């Protein structure tokens, strides 16, 4: 299989719009040619309120919000790792906010050191040289001014999108933007004489974050006001700190790549199993599109666990969650998550709608499997959902002409080819357990 970061030339041509496909679930709150560049040398009420913010803040921010139940809240806030990657970027002009949640598939710690072999073994994540710095989870969350009807869009990781500022590339899979920019920035730092590994890692990761943020902003046409990034090991640590999460599978699965081996039915996943669950794509009818549903189900399960397990009254569990957040999560600078969770968490009647952005078709570019998308349609969909533009009249046709301008490669498929099946959305049992195929 070619490396994810294999370079490829850009081909452009017409493409066809296959309709607006959504996998949605409304949940009441209550949760190539050239190889990739080588690495360079070298109190109770408040606690309950936090549970209502869990989906909005997802796997990253939900943990940071646990600081609310801590008496030394400002001490907790000050211990979070922050990033200036949003400095100078456009922001929303009103009271509504857009938050990008980033799941980073890296086998390294914050300072660029390989995770210990025993941790990698638990993660079922290879030898530490795999995965690079792919953003395998990207979820754009819109919190409206009143904080109630939250909208969250999962962005499929293989969407083929324009990128800027990356040498040798003008398009890439969206998951690659972070790692490609990071590698370039790190080499530039090395060339300028920087030798400290922690400095190289921190500054080059910020470059990767900034690239991801601008790429998502260009894709969706909306500003990003805050972001939270969680590492691969963070998914593991989250589940471990919670004592497991519950999910339901409609069908049995067995995947040696991710380590996901589950019978049909309800499961309480331990930390290693939860990571396998959110990483699985092989053996699923719809591959990566089904994986986005698993990520959504994980977030919903975390939400349910926070709301129902009494974690905010258990100082041992709470201490574990805060420790995970401080170790595995990076927040955008200036985001006082304690104050934010106070404000958002006290809002009643919240609900969250998950949607997976549509894919027109699959294609291959220089041996790489990519998702071909309709950029204009995605902008319209996201901006409409976020209330930036009004909905189109119901009489309008949802299918643009086949001659619509695009930045995607010429395809060998025909306009009659059906769009990829995004599969059924996540459903939730009466007991609050999220279910997926």
Q: Which H or E run contains 97?
A: strand 97-105
In the chain, the N- to C-terminal Cα span, in Å, equals 26
**404 within some domain:** no
**399 within some domain:** no
Q: Among residues 4, 40, 360, which one has the least CA distance to residue 169? A: 4
Q: Which H or E run contains 266?
A: strand 265-269
Looking at the 3D structure of the chain, how many domains does it have? 1
Which domain range does residue 283 map to? Answer: 25-389+422-436
The two structure tokens encoding residue 162:
């324009």
**4 within some domain:** no
Query: Can you tell me the distance from the alpha carbon of 281 to that of 289, in angstroms, rounded to the nearest whole number?
Result: 8
Query: Can you tell me the distance from the alpha carbon of 373 to that of 152, in angstroms, rounded to the nearest whole number?
Result: 18
161-177 per-position pLDDT tens digit: 999 999 999 999 999 99
**114 within some domain:** yes
Q: What secondary structure letter does DSSP report for 159?
A: B
The answer to whether 166 touches 211, Cβ cutoff 8 Å, is yes
The two structure tokens encoding residue 255:
């995947």
**146 within some domain:** yes
235-269 per-position pLDDT tens digit: 788 888 888 889 999 999 998 888 889 999 999 99
pLDDT at 210 > cutoff 90:
yes
**197 within some domain:** yes
372-419 per-position pLDDT tens digit: 999 999 999 999 999 999 988 865 444 443 333 344 444 444 445 667
CATH number for the domain including 273?
Answer: 3.40.630.190
**409 within some domain:** no
The two structure tokens encoding residue 202:
């921190």
Most confident of 24-33, 126-135, 149-158: 149-158
pTM of the model: 0.78
How many of the other CB atoms lie within 10 Å of CB of 223?
Answer: 17
Give one DSSP letter per residue of 336-377, joined into a string: -HHHHHHHHHT--S-EEEEEEPP--EEEEETTEEEEE--HHH
**405 within some domain:** no
Q: Among residues 72, 58, 82, which one has the least CA distance to residue 318? A: 72
């Amino acid at each position: 299989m070619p490396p994810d970061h294999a370079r490829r030339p850009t081909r452009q041509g017409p493409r066809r719009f296959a309709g607006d496909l959504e996998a949605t679930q409304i949940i009441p709150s209550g949760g190539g040619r050239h190889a990739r560049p080588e690495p360079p040398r070298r109190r109770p009420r408040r606690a309950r309120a936090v549970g209502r913010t869990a989906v909005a803040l997802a796997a990253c921010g939900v943990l940071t919000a646990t600081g609310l139940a801590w008496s030394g809240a400002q001490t907790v806030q000050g211990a979070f790792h922050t990033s200036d990657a949003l400095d100078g970027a456009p922001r929303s002009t009103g009271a509504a906010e857009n938050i990008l949640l980033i799941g980073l598939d890296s086998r390294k710690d914050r300072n660029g050191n390989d995770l210990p072999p025993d941790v990698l073994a638990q993660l079922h994540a290879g030898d530490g040289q795999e995965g690079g710095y792919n953003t395998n989870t990207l979820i754009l969350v819109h919190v409206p001014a009143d904080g109630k009807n939250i909208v969250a869009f999962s962005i499929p990781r293989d969407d083929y999108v324009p990128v800027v500022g990356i040498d040798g590339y003008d398009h890439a899979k969206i998951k690659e933007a972070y790692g490609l920019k990071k590698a370039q920035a790190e080499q530039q730092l090395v060339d300028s004489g920087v030798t400290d590994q922690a400095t190289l890692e921190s500054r080059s990761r910020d470059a990767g974050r900034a690239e991801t943020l601008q790429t998502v902003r260009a894709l969706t046409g909306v500003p990003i006001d805050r972001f939270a990034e969680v590492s691969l090991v963070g998914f593991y640590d989250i589940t471990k700190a919670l004592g497991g999460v519950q999910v339901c599978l409609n069908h049995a699965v067995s995947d040696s790549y991710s380590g996901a081996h589950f019978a049909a039915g309800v499961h309480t996943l331990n930390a290693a199993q939860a990571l396998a669950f959110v990483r699985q794509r092989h053996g699923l009818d719809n591959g990566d599109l089904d994986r986005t549903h698993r990520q959504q189900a994980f977030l919903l399960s975390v939400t349910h666990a926070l709301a129902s397990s009494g974690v905010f009254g258990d100082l041992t569990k709470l201490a574990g969650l805060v420790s995970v957040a401080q170790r595995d999560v990076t927040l955008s600078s200036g985001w006082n998550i304690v104050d934010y969770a106070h404000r958002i968490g006290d809002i009643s009647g919240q609900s969250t709608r998950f949607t997976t952005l549509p894919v027109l078709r699959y294609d291959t570019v220089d041996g790489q499997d990519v998702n071909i998308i309709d950029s204009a349609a995605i902008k319209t969909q996201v901006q409409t959902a976020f209330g930036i533009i009004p909905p189109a009249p119901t009489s309008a046709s949802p299918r643009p002409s086949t001659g619509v301008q695009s930045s995607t490669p010429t395809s060998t498929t025909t306009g009659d080819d059906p769009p990829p099946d995004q599969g059924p959305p996540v459903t939730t049992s009466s007991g609050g357990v999220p279910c997926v195929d």
